[in-house]
Amino acid sequence: MEIYVLVKQVPDPEALIKVKSDSELEIENKYFTNFFDEFAIEAGLKLKEKFGGKVTVLTVDNKKVDALRRGIAMGADDAIQITDPALEGSDQFAIAKALAAYLKDKPFDLILAGRQAMDDDAGIVGPAVAELLGIPHVNTILGLEVDDPKKGVKVIREVEGGKEILSCSLPALFTCQKGLNNPRIPQVMNVMKAMKAQIKKMDLAALGLSAADAGGQAAKIKVQKYLPPPKRLPVKMIKEDFPENVKTLVKLLREEAKVI
């Protein structure tokens, strides 16, 4: 099977993030592969192990390629980085356009993506790529069963109070949810091999696109303002013993926090 996995590098949850201006964030240089994308890579690798073929990891990023190297260390065969200065200012639609432009001539059976990116949390890119390519997509899958790829696949989703089982013809795009599998931890040798692996780079012109088609100029959504979360009030310790401490707590919840 010919499988492509869309991967995004996102800030580490422990990275310091400051609001630099209304539309700009200052993010500490600590990134890792989007949590949900590892389920997608693992699902692709499992299918390759069963049916043969190739897994390619694909990203749009102007700087970082660690997510691609993680994919190679896990077992992906190839890694592609779409990079172009004109991509600065991109929204989800512009990113999807660049990805779809790369994929449109490829003989893929399956495209896998994460359920959502842990930084922007939009969950748009996967379905948008599928729409642009005119292929079916199923979101937040928890199960993927393939007996014969030519006959299509069975996918399982969690819905309120239960599960939904769908059949889907290929080629298709699925976004992957926690629970689909247990992503493998790459072996040290593979991590070292991945550090040296060649990452193929493509710019917008190579995809037949211009800055007006994909990138900042094509963005339909623009950030108007970033607001930092409200500052947390300092912790107040209640030093009295029972039952005075309970009375004080209730008083504080009523009069200061105003939550009861």
Ligand X SMILES: Cc1cc2nc3c(=O)[nH]c(=O)nc-3n(C[C@H](O)[C@H](O)[C@H](O)COP(=O)(O)OP(=O)(O)OC[C@H]3O[C@@H](n4cnc5c(N)ncnc54)[C@H](O)[C@@H]3O)c2cc1C
38 binds ligand X (CB under 6 A): no
CA separation for the pair 45, 71 (Å, rounded): 10
The residue within the footprint of ligand X, chosen from 34, 139, 177, 181 (CB under 6 A), is 34
Both structure tokens of 43:
């699902």
* CA atoms of 208 and 186, how far apart (whole Å): 35
Binding residues with ligand X: total (CB under 6 A): 31
CB of 224 to ligand X, least distance (A): 10
Write out the two tokens for 69: 């190297």
Measure CA 189 to chain center.
Answer: 26
Taking CB atoms, the residue at the shortest distance from ligand X is 114
Interface with ligand X (CB under 6 A), residue from 33, 41, 55, 61: 61
42 neighbors 184 (Cβ within 8 angstroms)? yes
Q: What binding mask, one character per residue, do residues 204-223 give for ligand X by CB under 6 A, x or -?
A: -------------------x
Beta strand pairing status for 110-114 and 172-176? Answer: parallel
Q: Specify the 3-state DSSP secondary structure of 112.
A: strand
C-beta closer to ligand X: residue 7 or 155: 7
Q: Does 116 bind ligand X (CB under 6 A)?
A: yes
Binding site for ligand X (CB under 6 A): 6-8, 34, 36-37, 59-62, 87-92, 95, 99, 113-114, 116-117, 119-126, 223
